[in-house]
């Protein structure tokens, strides 16, 4: 796939999600009879030209960005309306396969949460269920219990095998487990958040303000909206420096539903030294949604005032939206480190100070061996 085709596919997925009505209620998309009127002739023609080979490429991109369900539901309807019955049937099968995967994974996730709680290790689901009705490629949890107790409980309850931990995993207080019969890894963050495990203050809020939701016939303990945004910001703006399409949809969903307490979010983010990163992240989300026909998600002016970049400065490479490391990501890192030092948190300051060295080692490993395994 050429760069242009790849960009066009991302744009098509974005249009399918944000131009097809209320993207926070994707079950309602296919019932809208005026769906074709939401697309210009050029975009409709590009969908008409989709063959099975291009649809598979589109599915792979949607899978990488955790938006298969949210993008393919309207696509199936549109292809049928355009008379592309074979292609619409192919999309229907892709949706059925994804639904089966999600059903199996959520059943396992529910059992993991229940049995860990019974073993004295209550957990909160983070990130994975934010994508609903889609699901991520692994199952992410947070626990405030002793790490040894969590690991032993996973091994005892599920005969789970911990995967080899990288330097970054050890610093971050993170374990990945292979569970027999489950294709997805179970990833558990224990006591810490952030790339080097430097964020411990926000974990108190994460557990204390968690709530329960019902999905797919199961009940899950999940983070509150503000904590979801903080966790997502840490992952995207302070760790990976790229944003998946699902991150845009997930956080825009929270904004348009009006469930975010921005004053609390600002206070929490400021105390953790993350507020500028949060504000920047939300600004990029709002810019992207507006650019692809979803309207402008609303938030207070003090969010925009603290944002350090906008969508024009974000690039698209290797399937994701890329945040410029210099100067933007470096400035956010410096602000977080400065805040930890200012508050006298020397231990976590030392942890965070290791990040440039890890990043350099990972970059060298990637260049020499083609992999950063064992580092990040």
Residues 143-166 pLDDT 10s: 999 999 999 999 999 999 999 999
How many helices (H) and strands (E) in the chain? 16, 10
Q: 142 forms bridges with which residues in the sheet?
A: 124, 189
Domain count, the chain: 2
Stretch 203-212: mean pLDDT, rounded?
Answer: 93
Pick the range with the lowest mean pLDDT from 36-45, 49-58, 176-185, 299-308: 36-45
Q: Are 148 and 191 in contact (CB under 8 A)?
A: no
Predicted confidence at residue 4, as pLDDT, reads 44
- Whether residue 373 is predicted with pLDDT greater than 80 in this model: the reply is no
Are 234 and 193 contained in the same domain?
Answer: yes
Burial code (b: 16+ CB inside 10 Å, e: under 16) for 56-90 equals eebbebbbbbbbbbbbbbbbbbbbbebebeebbeb
**Per-residue pLDDT at 33 exceeds 90:** no
- Whether 374 is covered by a domain: the verdict is no
**Confidence bin at 374 (pLDDT 50/70/90):** low
Neighbours of 321 (CB within 10 A): 21
Task: Kindly state the average pLDDT of the residues 124-139.
Answer: 96
Domain check: are 147 and 46 in the same one?
Answer: no
- Residue at a domain's end among 76, 100, 124: 100
Range of the domain at 93: 3-100
Mean pLDDT of 329-338: 95
User: 141 and 236, same structural domain?
Assistant: yes
Q: Are 275 and 269 in contact (CB under 8 A)?
A: yes
Structure tokens at 119: 């073993």
- Same-domain status, 310 and 165: yes
Question: Of the given ranges (256-260, 322-326, 361-365), which has the lowest mean pLDDT?
Answer: 361-365
Question: Is the model's pLDDT at 176 over the cut of 90?
Answer: yes
Residue 32 has pLDDT above 60, yes or no: no
Q: Is residue 300 part of a domain?
A: yes
Q: Containing H/E element for 222? A: strand 218-222
Report yes or no on 376 lying in a domain. Answer: no
Distances (CA, A) of 244 to 13, 62, 251: 12, 10, 11
Q: Can you give the pTM of this predicted structure?
A: 0.93
For residues 64 and 136, give the distance between their C-alpha atoms in angstroms, rounded to a whole number: 9
Which of 56, 77, 100 delimits the end of a domain? 100
pLDDT for the residue 227: 98
Cα–Cα distance, 188 to 185 (Å, whole number): 10
Whether residue 375 is contained in a domain is answered as no
Show the DSSP H helices in 119-165 as ranges: 147-158
Q: Which of 59, 54, 14 minimizes the C-alpha distance to 38?
A: 14
Among the three residues 51, 76, 100, which one is the final residue of a domain in this structure? 100
Domain-located, residue 356: yes
| pLDDT tens-digit series, residues 247-271 | 999 999 999 999 999 999 999 999 9
Whether 140 and 269 map to the same domain: the answer is yes
372 band by pLDDT with thresholds 50, 70 and 90: low
Same structural domain, 47 and 171? no
pLDDT value of position 375: 59
């Amino acid at each position: 796939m050429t760069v242009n085709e790849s960009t066009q596919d991302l744009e098509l997925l974005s249009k399918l999600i944000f131009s097809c009505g209320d993207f926070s209620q994707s079950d309602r998309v296919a019932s809208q009879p005026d769906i074709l009127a939401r697309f210009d002739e050029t975009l409709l023609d590009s969908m008409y030209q989709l063959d099975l080979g291009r649809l598979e490429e589109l599915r792979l991109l949607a899978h990488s960005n955790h938006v298969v369900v949210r993008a393919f539901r309207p696509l199936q309807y549109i292809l049928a309306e355009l008379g592309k019955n074979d292609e619409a049937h192919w999309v229907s099968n892709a949706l059925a396969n994804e639904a089966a995967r999600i059903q199996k994974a959520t059943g396992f996730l529910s059992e993991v949460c229940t049995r860990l709680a019974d073993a004295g290790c209550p957990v909160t689901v983070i990130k994975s269920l934010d994508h609903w009705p889609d699901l991520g490629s692994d199952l992410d949890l947070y626990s405030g219990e002793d790490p040894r107790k969590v690991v032993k409980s996973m091994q005892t309850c599920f005969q789970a095998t911990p995967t080899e931990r990288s330097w970054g995993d050890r610093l971050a207080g993170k374990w990945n487990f292979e569970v027999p019969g489950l294709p997805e890894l179970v990833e558990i963050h224990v006591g810490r958040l952030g790339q080097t495990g430097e964020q411990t203050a926000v974990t108190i809020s994460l557990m204390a303000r968690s709530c329960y939701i019902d999905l797919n016939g199961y009940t899950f303990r999940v983070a509150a909206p503000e904590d979801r945004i903080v966790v997502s910001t840490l992952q995207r703006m302070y760790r990976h420096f790229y944003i998946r399409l699902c991150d845009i949809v997930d956080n825009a969903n929270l904004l348009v539903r009006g469930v975010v307490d921005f004053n609390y979010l600002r206070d929490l983010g400021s105390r953790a030294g993350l507020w500028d990163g949060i504000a920047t992240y939300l600004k990029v989300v709002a810019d992207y949604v507006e650019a692809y026909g979803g309207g402008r998600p609303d938030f207070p002016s003090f969010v925009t005032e603290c944002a350090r970049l906008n969508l024009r400065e974000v690039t698209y490479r290797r399937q994701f939206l890329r945040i410029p490391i210099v100067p933007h990501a470096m400035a956010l890192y410096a602000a977080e480190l400065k805040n930890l030092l200012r508050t006298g948190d020397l231990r976590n300051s030392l942890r965070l100070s290791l990040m440039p060295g890890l990043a350099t080692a990972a970059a060298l490993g990637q260049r020499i061996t083609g992999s950063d395994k064992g580092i990040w």
